[in-house]
Chains A and B, each alone.
Chain A
Amino acid sequence: MSLLSRIANVFRGERLNREIEEEYASHLEEAILAGRDPVEARKALGSALRRQDESHDIHVVAWLDTLRADFVFGWRQLKRNWVTSAAAVLSLALAIGACTSAFRLIDALLWRPLPVAHADRLYVLSRHGMGFDNRPGEWDSWAYPDFQLMRAAARGKAELIAVSWALRTDITYKTDQEMEKAVVQYVSGSMFPTFEIQPAVGRLFTENDDRTPGAAPYAVLSYDYWTRRFGRDPGVAGRTFHYGDGVYQIIGVSEKKFTGTEPGVVVDIFVPTMMHREVTRSDSTWIRTLAVVAPGVAIEPLRAKLAAVSYAFEKNRLSGETGLSQETLRNVLANQVRMEPAPTGVSGMQKEYSRALAAIAILVVLVLLIACANVANLMTAQSATRSREMALRVSIGAGRVRLIRLVLAESALLALFSTVGGALFSWWSAPFVVSMINPPDNPARLILPGDWRVLSFGILLIACEVLFFGLVPALRASSVRPVSALKGDDSHARPVLMHGMIAAQVAFCFLVLFVAGLFVATFEHLASKPTGFSAERLVLLETTAHRAQPAAYWDQVEDHLRDLPGVERVSQAAWPLLGGSSWNDSISVNGGPPSVDLAYFLNVSPGFFETMRIPLLAGRDFRQSDGYPRAAIVNQSFARRFLQDNNPVGRSFDKASDDGSYERMQVVGVVADAYYSDIRIMLPVVFVPLHHPVSGTGLRPMSEVTYIVRTRSPNPLSEAAQLRQEVGRVRPEFRVSNVQTQKELLDAQTIRERMLATLAMFFAVVAILLAGVGLYGVLYYSVIQRHREIGIRIALGARAANVVRPLVSGISMALVIGTVAGLALGLTSTHYIESLLYQVKASDPVQLAAPGLVILLAAIIAAAPAVVRALYINPVDLLRAE
Chain B
Amino acid sequence: MAKNDSLQGTLDLLVLKILSRRPRLHGYALMTAIAETSGDVLRAEEGSLYPAMHRMEEAGWIQAEWVKRESGRRTRVYELTRAGRAQLAQEELRWQTVASAVNRVLRMA
Which single residue of chain B is at the shortest CB-CB distance from A42? Answer: B46
Contacts of A5 in B (CB 8 A): 58
Which single residue of chain B is at the shortest CB-CB distance from A26? Answer: B75
Interface of chain B residues 44 through 77 with chain A (CB within 8 A): 45-47, 50-51, 54-55, 58-60, 69, 71, 73-76
Contacts of B58 in A (CB 8 A): 2, 5-6, 58-59
Q: Does B29 contact A (CB under 8 A)?
A: yes
Give the distance in Å from the alpha carbon of A840 to the alpha carbon of B41 in the complex: 98
> Quick check: which of A28-36, A355-363, A481-489 contacts chain B, the rest being far away?
A28-36
B26 engages A51 (CB within 8 Å): no
B50 engages A23 (CB within 8 Å): yes
A45 engages B46 (CB within 8 Å): yes
For residue B21, give the distance in angstroms from its CB to the closest CB of chain A.
20
Contacts of A31 in B (CB 8 A): 28
Q: Does B10 contact A (CB under 8 A)?
A: no
B76 engages A29 (CB within 8 Å): no
For residue B9, give the distance in angstroms from its CB to the closest CB of chain A.
17
Contacts of B73 in A (CB 8 A): 25-26, 29
A30 engages B28 (CB within 8 Å): yes
A24 engages B50 (CB within 8 Å): yes
Give the distance in Å from the alpha carbon of A46 to the alpha carbon of B73 in the complex: 22
Contacts of B60 in A (CB 8 A): 1-2
Q: Does A169 contact B (CB under 8 A)?
A: no
Give the distance in Å from the alpha carbon of A22 to the alpha carbon of B55 in the complex: 18
Q: Does B32 contact A (CB under 8 A)?
A: yes
Which single residue of chain A is at the shortest CB-CB distance from B47? Answer: A46
For residue B52, give the distance in angstroms from its CB to the closest CB of chain A.
9
Interface of chain A residues 25 through 71 with chain B (CB within 8 A): 25-27, 29-31, 34, 44-46, 51, 54-55, 58-59
Which single residue of chain B is at the shortest CB-CB distance from A47? Answer: B47
Contacts of A51 in B (CB 8 A): 46-47, 50-51
Give the distance in Å from the alpha carbon of A506 to the alpha carbon of B75 in the complex: 66
Give the distance in Å from the alpha carbon of A45 to the alpha carbon of B44 in the complex: 12
Contact with A along B35-46 (1 / 0, CB 8 A): 000000000011
B55 engages A58 (CB within 8 Å): yes
Contacts of A19 in B (CB 8 A): 76
For residue B4, give the distance in angstroms from its CB to the closest CB of chain A.
12
A26 engages B74 (CB within 8 Å): yes
- With A22-B74, A27-B46, A46-B46 as known contacts, state yes or no: A55 contacts B54, CB within 8 Å: yes
Which single residue of chain B is at the shortest CB-CB distance from A24? Answer: B50
Give the distance in Å from the alpha carbon of A25 to the alpha carbon of B66 in the complex: 13
Contacts of A54 in B (CB 8 A): 51
For residue B84, give the distance in angstroms from its CB to the closest CB of chain A.
13
A34 engages B28 (CB within 8 Å): yes
Give the distance in Å from the alpha carbon of A20 to the alpha carbon of B51 in the complex: 10
- With A34-B32, A45-B46 as known contacts, state yes or no: A58 contacts B54, CB within 8 Å: yes
Give the distance in Å from the alpha carbon of A45 to the alpha carbon of B51 in the complex: 12
For residue B7, give the distance in angstroms from its CB to the closest CB of chain A.
15
B54 engages A59 (CB within 8 Å): yes
Contacts of B32 in A (CB 8 A): 34
Which single residue of chain B is at the shortest CB-CB distance from A9? Answer: B58
Contacts of B29 in A (CB 8 A): 30
- With A25-B73, A26-B76 as known contacts, state yes or no: A58 contacts B27, CB within 8 Å: no
Contacts of B74 in A (CB 8 A): 22, 26
For residue A210, give the distance in angstroms from its CB to the closest CB of chain B.
70
For residue A543, give the distance in angstroms from its CB to the closest CB of chain B.
84
For residue B51, give the distance in angstroms from its CB to the closest CB of chain A.
5
- With A5-B58, A34-B32, A55-B54 as known contacts, state yes or no: A27 contacts B27, CB within 8 Å: yes
B28 engages A2 (CB within 8 Å): no
B59 engages A55 (CB within 8 Å): no
For residue A47, give the distance in angstroms from its CB to the closest CB of chain B.
9
For residue A694, give the distance in angstroms from its CB to the closest CB of chain B.
100
B28 engages A27 (CB within 8 Å): yes
Which single residue of chain A is at the shortest CB-CB distance from B69? Answer: A26
- With A2-B58, A6-B58, A44-B46 as known contacts, state yes or no: A29 contacts B51, CB within 8 Å: no
Give the distance in Å from the alpha carbon of A706 to the alpha carbon of B73 in the complex: 94
Contacts of B28 in A (CB 8 A): 26-27, 30-31, 34
Contacts of A20 in B (CB 8 A): 54
Give the distance in Å from the alpha carbon of A30 to the alpha carbon of B77 in the complex: 13
Contacts of A59 in B (CB 8 A): 54, 58
Which single residue of chain B is at the shortest CB-CB distance from A60? Answer: B58
Contacts of A44 in B (CB 8 A): 45-47
A55 engages B51 (CB within 8 Å): yes
Give the distance in Å from the alpha carbon of A2 to the alpha carbon of B27 in the complex: 21
For residue B80, give the distance in angstroms from its CB to the closest CB of chain A.
16
Give the distance in Å from the alpha carbon of A5 to the alpha carbon of B46 in the complex: 24
For residue A754, give the distance in angstroms from its CB to the closest CB of chain B.
65
Contacts of B45 in A (CB 8 A): 44
Give the distance in Å from the alpha carbon of A19 to the alpha carbon of B71 in the complex: 17
For residue B64, give the distance in angstroms from its CB to the closest CB of chain A.
9
Contacts of A26 in B (CB 8 A): 26-28, 69, 73-76
For residue B60, give the distance in angstroms from its CB to the closest CB of chain A.
5
Give the distance in Å from the alpha carbon of A46 to the alpha carbon of B46 in the complex: 8
Give the distance in Å from the alpha carbon of A1 to the alpha carbon of B51 in the complex: 19
B27 engages A23 (CB within 8 Å): yes
Contacts of B55 in A (CB 8 A): 58
For residue B58, give the distance in angstroms from its CB to the closest CB of chain A.
5
Give the distance in Å from the alpha carbon of A6 to the alpha carbon of B58 in the complex: 8
Give the distance in Å from the alpha carbon of A23 to the alpha carbon of B71 in the complex: 14
Which single residue of chain A is at the shortest CB-CB distance from B75? Answer: A26
Give the distance in Å from the alpha carbon of A55 to the alpha carbon of B59 in the complex: 14
For residue B108, give the distance in angstroms from its CB to the closest CB of chain A.
41
Contacts of B59 in A (CB 8 A): 2
Give the distance in Å from the alpha carbon of A34 to the alpha carbon of B26 in the complex: 14
Which single residue of chain A is at the shortest CB-CB distance from B50? Answer: A55
For residue A350, give the distance in angstroms from its CB to the closest CB of chain B.
59
Which single residue of chain A is at the shortest CB-CB distance from B74? Answer: A22
A23 engages B46 (CB within 8 Å): no
Give the distance in Å from the alpha carbon of A77 to the alpha carbon of B52 in the complex: 37
Give the distance in Å from the alpha carbon of A349 to the alpha carbon of B20 in the complex: 78
Contacts of B46 in A (CB 8 A): 27, 44-46, 51
Which single residue of chain A is at the shortest CB-CB distance from B71? Answer: A29
Listed residue (B26, B28, B59, B71) with the most chain A CB atoms within 10 angstroms of its CB: B28
Give the distance in Å from the alpha carbon of A20 to the alpha carbon of B73 in the complex: 14
For residue A176, give the distance in angstroms from its CB to the closest CB of chain B.
80
Contacts of A46 in B (CB 8 A): 46-47
Give the distance in Å from the alpha carbon of A92 to the alpha carbon of B79 in the complex: 54
Contacts of B26 in A (CB 8 A): 26-27, 30
Give the distance in Å from the alpha carbon of A25 to the alpha carbon of B26 in the complex: 12
Which single residue of chain A is at the shortest CB-CB distance from B58? Answer: A2
Contacts of A1 in B (CB 8 A): 60
Give the distance in Å from the alpha carbon of A673 to the alpha carbon of B82 in the complex: 97
Which single residue of chain B is at the shortest CB-CB distance from A22? Answer: B74
Which single residue of chain A is at the shortest CB-CB distance from B32? Answer: A34
Contacts of A30 in B (CB 8 A): 26-29, 75
B51 engages A58 (CB within 8 Å): yes
Give the distance in Å from the alpha carbon of A46 to the alpha carbon of B4 in the complex: 15
For residue A401, give the distance in angstroms from its CB to the closest CB of chain B.
26
**Chain A: residues with CB nearer than 8 A to chain B?**
1-2, 5-6, 19-20, 22-27, 29-31, 34, 44-46, 51, 54-55, 58-59
Closest 7 CB pairs of A and B: A30-B28, A26-B75, A58-B54, A23-B76, A45-B46, A46-B47, A27-B28
A-B contacts, 27 listed (Cβ < 8 Å): A20-B54, A23-B27, A23-B75, A23-B76, A24-B50, A25-B73, A26-B26, A26-B27, A26-B28, A26-B69, A26-B73, A27-B50, A30-B26, A30-B29, A44-B45, A45-B46, A45-B47, A51-B46, A51-B50, A54-B51, A55-B51, A55-B54, A58-B51, A58-B54, A58-B55, A58-B58, A59-B54
Given contacts A2-B59, A34-B32, 18 further A-B contacts (CB under 8 A): A5-B58, A6-B58, A19-B76, A20-B54, A23-B27, A23-B76, A26-B26, A26-B69, A27-B26, A27-B50, A29-B71, A30-B27, A31-B28, A45-B46, A51-B46, A51-B47, A55-B54, A58-B58
**Chain B: residues with CB nearer than 8 A to chain A?**
26-29, 32, 45-47, 50-51, 54-55, 58-60, 69, 71, 73-76
